Structure formats: C-alpha cells, structure tokens
Amino acid sequence: MPDDGFHVFDTTLRDGAQREGITLTVADKIAIARLLDAYGVGFIEGGWPGANPKDTEFFERASRELALKHARLTAFGATRRPGVRAADDPQVAALRDSGAPVVTLVAKSDGRHVERALRTTGEENLAMIADTVAHLRAHGQRVFVDCEHFFDGHLYDPGYATAVVRTAAEAGADVVVLCDTNGGMLPERIGRIVAEVRAATGARVGIHAQDDSGCAVANTLAAVDAGATHVQCTANGYGERVGNADLFSVVAALALKHGRDVLPAGCLAETTRVSQAIAELVNIAPATHQPYVGVSAFAHKAGLHASAIKVDPDLYQHIDPALVGNDMRMLVSDMAGRASVELKAKELGVDLGGDRELLGRVVDRVKRMEQDGYSFEAADASLELLLRAELGRPARYFTAESWRVITERRADGGGITEATVKLDVGGDRVIATAEGNGPVNALDRALRAAAEGAHPALSGFELTDYKVRILEGASGTDAITRILITFGDGRGEWTTVGVGENVIDASWIALEQAFTYGLLRGERPEG
C-alpha cells in the first residue's frame, strides 16, 4: 500500500460517473477499478451502497472479483438522518455491511444547507456527524468525512464550518475533506481557508475541488501547499457539470513539480495509458489537448519551436513526455520550417539525410498545398507519401488512368450509385466496376476490385472514420472540399487527406493515398 502520509483518492466511479453522457455498468466499474489500482492510487470510491442496486452489486462483486494491490475500496454515503440513531439508520447499515474497509461520509458544513436542505438545527447536524463517525469506527471501518459546500459555508459562517471539521475529527474521522462543491473558489482563497482551518482544529484535512471556475487542479495544489494531505480527483476530470480535479494532472504535478512520491515506483509512466483506457471504457473520446496525457500535450507546430527542439527538446517542453507515458510529436503545416520537417520525417521513419535543398523543397511544397486547402496535421500517412515522393522513392502499387461515378436517382426515391476505375497494376491495365452506398463507397469497392488480385491485403482494410470540411474559396463564393479518411487493418490506423473541387474528387485522392499507404505499411514488420 502507498504511504499513508499522503492520500491520492479517486472518485471516478462515484463523482466522475455523474458526468452527463457517462453510464457505467457494474462490469465497467470493475474494469476501471482495476486500472486505477494498477495506476497506484491509494483509495477508490466505488459508489453509494444501499442507495441504488448497481452500487450495491458493485460492492458485492468487488469483494469477490477485485484483488486490489495498491488501493483500498471506499464506500460513499451520508450521515444518519436527523432524529435517528446511526445504529438504526438503514443507509448507515448499508455502509457498515458493504465490506468496504473505508467509508466516506458526506456531511453538511454550510449552515444554510443544514437549515433548508436537511431541515434541522446546526446542533443536530453536528450530532449526526459525531454519531455516524463513531458508529462506523466502532465497527472497524476507517472514516473520511466530506464537508459538502465547505468553502461557501466558511464564507457564510466560518465558526460553524470550522465546528463541523472539529466535530468530525474528534469523533474519529481520519481525514476531514474540505469540498468546493459549487466549484467557484480560486486558489488564493482555498489556500488561506485551508491554512486557517488546520490551525484552528488540528485536523488532518483533504481537498475536493469541482472545476466550475476552471481552477480545480490549481485549487487542489493550493490546498496541498497549505497543508492538505489528501486529494480527491477523478480520471480525466470527469464529473457533474464541468467536472472535478483531473487525477492525472494533479498526480503529475505533485510528482514532477512538487517532488512528492504519491504513486508507487513505476506507476507514473502509466499515466497516459490509464487515462486513455478509462476514456475508452466510459465511451468518451480522449481529450486531445488534456495536459500531460493528451495526444497534443507535447505536439509542436511552429517552426521556431522545432528549431529549438532539434537542439534540445527541453527548450520547449516543461517535462520529458516519457515520464507520463506520452510522446513528443511534430506537426507539419504552413508554419513549418526545415527543422519541423526534418524532425517529423524522423518521427515517421523517413531519413532526409539533412539535405537542406530537399528540406527546403518539402517545406515549399507543404506550404503551397496548405494554401490550397490541405492540412497535414492529422494526416501523417499523406505526409509520409509526400516525403517519399520528394526523395524519389514514391510508394506506387497502382496508377489510376481514370475513374468515374454515376448516380441514378429514380422518381420513386430509390437509386443506385456505380463507379468504374481504370488502373495500371503492375503493368496490367485493369478495369473494374462496382456499386455502392453512395459515390465514395462505390469508388472504394471498385478500387478494391481492380487491385485486390495483385494486392490481397486490401481486403483487410476497413474505413473507420470519414470527415468532410468545406473551405471557402478565394472569391468567397466558390469553395473547395477537404476530406480526411482513416483506415485500419487490425494492427493500427492511418489517416490521409484529399482536397478537390467537390466531395468526390477529394475523396478519391484521400482514398487512393489510404490504400497506397496501407500497402506500404503492410510491408513493415509488426511493432
């Protein structure tokens, strides 16, 4: 288990699951818990047993299926109800009987919520906290107390909010967590209040920050600077409204900026992998520009940056990407210079040999094509084919003589699309015709039919994404079309770009390049 002197507490399965668009099955929760445990967090909050059947089932299955190596499973619930003993409250019983070694209790710490939401007195609220903490502690469970709306409550009535912390600590709570439930606080205020509460109570305090002001990570770090030794976060910042403090940003900052050993040895390098794996499980595309773990977190586009990075990557990167399991990427665009192209070519496995004339030629060509509407940032496959052509080593498995598409629309609303392609394949002239669900699908099928005899690997290529962008023309009235096509072959994916006067022209260019690159890729050893 990690050192108990500092807690990394994850609440993805409870608070993170409150994000709009996330619906987790019990199997999803088990899988995410395994990933979080492998990442090395100290505590995993699994949900609220007794409040809904799914969370109750999760704790039942977790006791049988989860062999946690690093983390302790935590159950979430509320203090007893007003006027009822903790020993007699069925929701407290569900927490007690959950099998979780740790319980996190949510308690009201804002007097206005006590009076208007709980409809009880401040004195009874304190009694509810003390009774529930003491009851669970007597049954051998460790207890953390989340002081809901703490910072807003502290601004309204600092004496009462502080009394809630003191009461929880004196009743046996190991940590009293100060919650910015509405997410409206800023770092300076967070730091000041955390320091004041610690001095007034002597309690061990934690921080739970929502991100409504865009400051959840900064607020969490400010609380740590002020003495908090327990941070509550969610994977990728998932959570209600705009979310919570991002687990991966907080952990990386604590480890790499504060020098704290908050994870077991070797786990920090799993940051990017775990972030992306959880994103897949919750069915939300990974955020490309997320700090530390995003695919663009260490991507460089400006030529000035590339020139410096060629000398020393640290000149334009705040950390070595490998520390969090990420990679540096070079983007080639109309902003590119020779250094950008040289570094990107190296990334793609193409050796340009430091030839300044060749590099200049590639830069000029890229800039001309980007002026015409191309974008190579997301189309590495097209860029690699361009580089190989400039080197005089084009990848050529077939050459298109011509192609055409005919779409017939009938009065009854039915219709059919037919494409014909004429190719030179290994010196043989091949003509193939195919029908499809629209012109792009018909071209795809016709091209395969013409070339598959010589290149059977084409049958394993599968279209996984297709994007259309209409670009304004120079006159402001005509337009050109940009198409990005992504294919996969079971080993990985690649993206090509085509630009033309219409969707079909642009699609053909991207499609032809996609098949060419896929065949080239198939000649490389796996891995």
Same domain, 324 and 201: no
Same domain, 41 and 132: yes
- The mean of the pLDDT values for the chain is 90
Total domain count, the chain: 3
Same domain, 257 and 329: no
In a domain, 41, yes or no: yes
Structure tokens, 495:
């993206």
Q: Shortest CA distance to 273 belongs to which of 327, 331, 314?
A: 327
Same domain, 156 and 216: yes
Q: What is the pLDDT of residue 199?
A: 97
Measured distance CA(206)–CA(229) in Å, rounded: 6
Q: Of 82 and 476, which is predicted with more confidence?
A: 82
Q: What is the pLDDT of residue 460?
A: 93
> What's the pLDDT band for 198 if we cut at 50, 70, 90?
very high
CATH number at residue 244: 3.20.20.70
In a domain, 142, yes or no: yes
In a domain, 431, yes or no: yes
Same domain, 93 and 238: yes
Q: What is the pLDDT of residue 5?
A: 92
Structure tokens, 319:
């950390």
Same domain, 20 and 116: yes
Q: What is the pLDDT of residue 420?
A: 97
pLDDT greater than 80 at residue 316? no
Q: Are 203 and 166 in contact (CB under 8 A)?
A: yes
In a domain, 207, yes or no: yes
Q: How many other β-carbons are positioned within 10 Å of the β-carbon of residue 497?
A: 27
Domain limit, last residue, from 326, 352, 371:
371
Q: How many other β-carbons are positioned within 10 Å of the β-carbon of residue 122?
A: 16
Residues 6+ apart with CB under 8 A from 110: 148, 149, 150, 152, 153, 156, 157, 161
Q: Shortest CA distance to 406 belongs to which of 427, 420, 423?
A: 420
Measured distance CA(379)–CA(494) in Å, rounded: 8
Measured distance CA(190)–CA(215) in Å, rounded: 10
In a domain, 527, yes or no: no
Same domain, 90 and 126: yes
Same domain, 143 and 225: yes
> What's the pLDDT band for 218 if we cut at 50, 70, 90?
very high
pLDDT greater than 60 at residue 333? no
Same domain, 200 and 254: yes
Q: Of 52 and 18, which is predicted with more confidence?
A: 18
Residues 6+ apart with CB under 8 A from 323: 252, 256, 268, 269
Degrees to nearest 5, angle at CA 103 with 101 and 105:
175
DSSP 3-41: -TTSEEEE-TTTTGGGSTT----HHHHHHHHHHHHHHT-
Same domain, 212 and 361: no
Measured distance CA(319)–CA(500) in Å, rounded: 41
Q: What is the pLDDT of residue 376?
A: 82
Measured distance CA(216)–CA(236) in Å, rounded: 12
Structure tokens, 368:
């001309």
22-70: pLDDT as tens digits: 999 998 999 999 999 999 999 999 999 988 899 999 999 998 888 899 9
In a domain, 86, yes or no: yes
Task: Tell the residue number behind the tokens 């509320």, with chain if given.
Answer: 78
pLDDT greater than 90 at residue 148? yes
CATH number at residue 426: 3.30.160.270
Among the residue ranges 264-273, 307-316, 509-518, the one predicted with the least confidence is 307-316
Average pLDDT over residues 349-367: 84
> What's the pLDDT band for 476 if we cut at 50, 70, 90?
very low
In a domain, 273, yes or no: no
Among the residue ranges 148-157, 311-320, 512-521, the one predicted with the least confidence is 311-320
Q: Shortest CA distance to 522 belongs to which of 487, 478, 475?
A: 487
Structure tokens, 228:
């908090």
CB neighbour burial string for 85-95, b if at least 16 within 10 angstroms, e if fewer:
ebeebebbbbb
Q: Of 348 and 95, which is predicted with more confidence?
A: 95
Q: Of 123 and 523, which is predicted with more confidence?
A: 123
Residues 6+ apart with CB under 8 A from 349: 384
Q: What is the pLDDT of residue 527?
A: 44
Among the residue ranges 171-180, 211-220, 261-270, 461-470, the one predicted with the least confidence is 461-470
pLDDT greater than 60 at residue 475? no
3-class DSSP assignment, residue 232: strand
> What's the pLDDT band for 227 if we cut at 50, 70, 90?
very high
Q: Are 514 and 381 in contact (CB under 8 A)?
A: yes
Domain limit, last residue, from 261, 291, 308:
261
Domain limit, last residue, from 240, 261, 282:
261
Beta pairing partners, 75: 47, 103
Q: What is the pLDDT of residue 224?
A: 98
Strands 72-78, 175-180: pairing kind: unpaired
379-437: pLDDT as tens digits: 889 999 999 999 888 999 999 999 999 998 888 877 889 999 999 999 999 999 999 99
Range(s) of the domain holding residue 99: 7-261
Q: Of 276 and 13, which is predicted with more confidence?
A: 13
Same domain, 435 and 349: no
Same domain, 364 and 404: no
pLDDT greater than 70 at residue 335? no
Q: Shortest CA distance to 177 belongs to which of 208, 202, 154?
A: 208
Residues 6+ apart with CB under 8 A from 267: 38, 39, 40, 70
Q: What are phi and psi of 352, to 5 degrees?
A: -90, 0
Measured distance CA(358)–CA(172) in Å, rounded: 71
Measured distance CA(451)–CA(462) in Å, rounded: 15
Q: Shortest CA distance to 204 belongs to which of 184, 179, 178?
A: 178
In a domain, 341, yes or no: yes
